[in-house]
């Protein structure tokens, strides 16, 4: 309960990996695409990785902004 549709949105259809799992992996230290593939199994399914282009923006946004597209933007403190 309490999970939004967005969090449950499947990013990798081959391995049934929802957005939430990818975001958690990144938060927990997966800071390269290969880390994400290793830790979540997303991007390494039989289709050959068609979801990888969907995964990359999560990582890029987190590394540059510290947030994910699903989250409200918080002002950056200086």
What the block records as the tokens of 14 is 């081959």
**Does residue 50 bind ligand FES (CB under 6 A)?**
yes
**Does residue 49 bind ligand FES (CB under 6 A)?**
yes
Among 25, 26, 36, 51, binds ligand FES (CB under 6 A): 51
**Does residue 16 bind ligand FES (CB under 6 A)?**
no
**Does residue 56 bind ligand FES (CB under 6 A)?**
no
Which residues are within 8 A (CB) of 26 and not within 5 positions of it... i.e. 6 or more apart?
Answer: 36, 58, 59, 62, 68
**Does residue 47 bind ligand FES (CB under 6 A)?**
yes
Element (H, E) at 25: helix 19-27
């Amino acid at each position: 309960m309490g999970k939004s549709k967005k969090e449950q949105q499947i990013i990798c259809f081959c391995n049934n990996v929802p957005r939430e799992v990818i975001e958690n992996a990144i938060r927990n230290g997966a800071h390269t695409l290969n880390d994400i593939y290793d830790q979540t199994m997303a991007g390494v399914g039989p289709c050959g990785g068609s979801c990888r282009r969907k995964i990359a923006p999560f990582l890029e946004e987190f590394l540059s902004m510290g947030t994910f597209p699903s989250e409200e933007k918080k002002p950056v403190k200086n």
